[in-house]
Amino acid sequence: MRLFLVPISTRRTLLYCQKLRALPSDKQPWVDKITLRAARLWAGWEQKESGWQRAVVKYGNRALRRIPYEEWGLKSVPTLGARRRQEDIMGKEKHHLIFPPSVIPASRAPQVLQTLATERQALHRSRMIWCIIGIPISAPFALVPIVPNLPFFYLAYRLWSHYRALAGGKHLQWLLSNQFFTLHPSDTLDTIYPRHLPSSSLPEQEPNHSKSEASHQSESGQAPPAQERLLLTQDGGRKLARALQVPELEPELERAIWQVENAIRKQSQVSQTEKK
């Protein structure tokens, strides 16, 4: 499989996993089979011109777009079953870590991947617990005969989503701890990003500083962290997906860029308010 590290801003990087070969349907895990069936059902509802299915799809897509892009990235990594583990040990499947060397130096690429694999583990575990608590509470809504039990299905989907993100992160940690991957700096990715980026533009891939930390740095005389800047636009994301010949990467980039743009805009508004 191919693991792409695509910097979105000077502090955030999108992870995407492209599986080069799919398992036969009879050997796919049951989770993957259910996921494929649900995707086909959702695609069928999207073809509806009216009705409650169309309304569910409309508002459901809005909710899906707000799921953090980091979670989508981890979900793209397949789960580490006994069969995959054995193939990794025997070297049957090759894994390539692909990144733009002008933005992420080769020496830092494994560190960025490690951070993406581990930084949200606690969050996914806590959200899974809340989903498990909420599912029995939402179950009685099934007694309403007009529409399906949407709260139940949403919580069940979020439970599965957090589980898949955790499983993807564990797979990445397995690859990193055993060094079952090779570094592949990509000249194709480099052509999309502005040339000669200053060193301050390198993605830090660290948690954002809180307001208290920022004020403490200011009082102690330390220089505040550099302002976050967007490195990839929507047009650049489309060009990148086409250049890599990975069409399924385009919607992932569109979602990630939209989320990061909104986050930077809110940060700018907060900083301007504090200055006033």
Tokens 């259910």 identify what position?
34
Confidence of residue 270 (pLDDT cuts 50, 70, 90): confident
Helix axes of 82-90 and 150-178: crossing angle, nearest 10 degrees: 20
3-state secondary structure of 202: coil
% residues pLDDT > 90 (the chain)? 44
Are the C-beta atoms of residues 163 and 193 closer than 8 Å to each other? no
Pick from 111, 78, 92: nearest CA to 5: 111
Residue with tokens 């005969």: 145
Kindly report the number of other CB atoms within 10 A of residue 67's CB atom.
16
Region for 15 from its dihedrals, namely left if φ exceeds 0, alpha if ψ lies in -120 to 50, beta otherwise? beta
pLDDT of residue 79: 87
Work out the angle at residue 34's Cα, subtended by the Cα atoms of residues 71 and 257, and round it to the nearest 5 degrees.
Answer: 25
Q: What six digits make up the tokens of 179?
A: 């060094």
> Rounded distance, CA 183 to CA 142, Å?
50
Half-sphere exposure of 40 (CA within 13 A, CB side): 6
- Does pLDDT of 127 surpass 60? yes
Statement: residue 200 has pLDDT above 90: no
Q: Tens digits of per-residue pLDDT, 75-122? A: 999 888 777 788 777 777 788 999 999 899 999 999 999 999 999 999
Interval 203-255: pLDDT, tens? 555 544 444 444 434 444 454 567 888 999 999 999 999 999 999 999 999 99
99 DSSP β-pair partners? 185
How many other C-beta atoms can be found within 10 angstroms of the C-beta atom of residue 69?
23
pLDDT value of residue 63: 83
The pLDDT, as a whole number, for residue 214 is 43
Q: Is the pLDDT of residue 190 over 70?
A: yes
Distance of CA 11 to the CA centre of its chain: 14
Instruction: Taking residues 60-65, report their average pLDDT.
Output: 81
Mean local confidence (pLDDT), 151-173:
92
Q: How far apart are CA 194 and CA 102, in angstroms?
A: 9
Q: What is the mean pLDDT of the chain?
A: 81
> What is the Cα–Cα distance from 98 to 192, expressed in whole angstroms?
14
Contact 252, 72 (CB under 8 A): yes
**How far, in Å, CA of 218 to CA of 252, rounded?**
37
Provide the token pair at 273: 């308010």
End-to-end alpha-carbon separation of the chain, Å?
Answer: 50
If you average pLDDT over residues 167-177, what whole number do you get? 93
- 16: nearest Cα among 258, 244, 262: 244
Average pLDDT over residues 36-43: 66
Residue 228 has a pLDDT of 87
Side chain identity at residue 62, one-letter code: R
Query: Token pair for residue 102?
Result: 């002008």
Q: What is the pLDDT of residue 208?
A: 45
Q: Using the predicted structure, report yes or no on whether residue 36 has a pLDDT greater than 90.
A: no
The per-residue pLDDT for 49 is 73
Question: Is 156 exposed, middle or buried (CB count within 10 Å of its CB: 0-12, 13-18, 19+)?
Answer: middle
Task: Please state the pTM of the whole predicted model.
Answer: 0.81
- In the beta sheet, which residues pair with residue 98? 4, 184
Q: Which two tokens stand for residue 27?
A: 């050997």
